[in-house]
A = this chain, B = another copy of it.
Amino acid sequence: MMELTRKGEYAIRGIIYLAQQQPGKVSLISEIAEASGAPQSFLAKIFQSFAKLGIVSSFRGTGGGFTLGRSPASITLREVVEAVEGPIIPNRCLLDGGVCDRGKDCKVHPVWRTVQTQVTQILESVTMEELARK
């Protein structure tokens, strides 16, 4: 239960790789893919969505590739995970402000809310800067 997908793993490894490079250094997707053990074209898709979110910056043509879009210290694990896996929602009831069709006296609801809060906090507290340290 609650398993990160391969997509999520590749995403994290790829971003950490970028965070470990010298600031401003542009890395090819082929290079990132090899370093993180991810299929290149799959990782390319992931990084495309990161580029849209500003987590990475992309450059085309000769000498192109990817760099981090912001400082490693400002990118949290939560942001990376949610970018590829969607929001952290342990239960459908927690969608849309948490209105559950099972009524207000559902005792399970607040438990999942707690899980959601805790997990979010843990992932929020970890930055790429920390994860990049060797």
Contacts and interface: CB of A to CB of B under 8 A. Distances in A.
A111 B91 contact: no
A114 interface: yes
A2 B85 CA distance: 9
Interface in A102-134: 102, 105, 107-108, 111-112, 114-115, 118-119, 122-123, 126, 130-134
A119 to B, nearest CB: 6
B123 A91 contact: no
User: What is the predominant secondary structure among interface residues of chain A facing chain B?
Assistant: helix
Contact of A126 (B88, B111, B126): B111
Given A115-B123, A122-B115, A88 B1 contact: yes
